[in-house]
Amino acid sequence: MEPVRITLIGKPGCHLCDDAREVVEGVRAKLAAESVATELVELNILEDEALARLHSEDIPVVRIGEKRHAIWRVDPDKFEAAVRRAAGCARKTFWRR
């Protein structure tokens, strides 16, 4: 199975980008422990004029595959669920009494 491609578009010194990276890395670590493969690609808008024109006011941008998942803030639970859907695996549910 191919890893789920996650793209983080941002720039250095962007605190929201740092926050998004932290969420993305945390979810990736959790999923890796369950053998859900992901691949992270980071793109810097300062190094790509086309990306800067598209996203200069909207960073960070997180994409899963080719679909934009979030801008500015990343909700960990929604992000995890979206990556699981992209990987084709169901979320494990544990019931407590």
Task: Please indicate, yes or no, if residue 93 is contained in any of the structural domains.
Answer: no
Structural domain tally of the chain? 1
Task: Please indicate, yes or no, if residue 94 is contained in any of the structural domains.
Answer: no
20-47, pLDDT tens digit by residue?
Answer: 999 999 999 999 999 999 999 999 999 9
Structural domain boundaries, residue 70: 4-87
Task: Please indicate, yes or no, if residue 42 is contained in any of the structural domains.
Answer: yes
Rounded to whole angstroms, the Cα distance separating 89 from 97 reads 25
Grouping H, G, I as helix, E, B as strand and the rest as coil, residue 7 is strand
**Predicted confidence band of residue 96 (pLDDT cuts 50, 70, 90):** very low
Q: What is the pTM of this model?
A: 0.88
| CATH number of residue 56's parent domain | 3.40.30.10
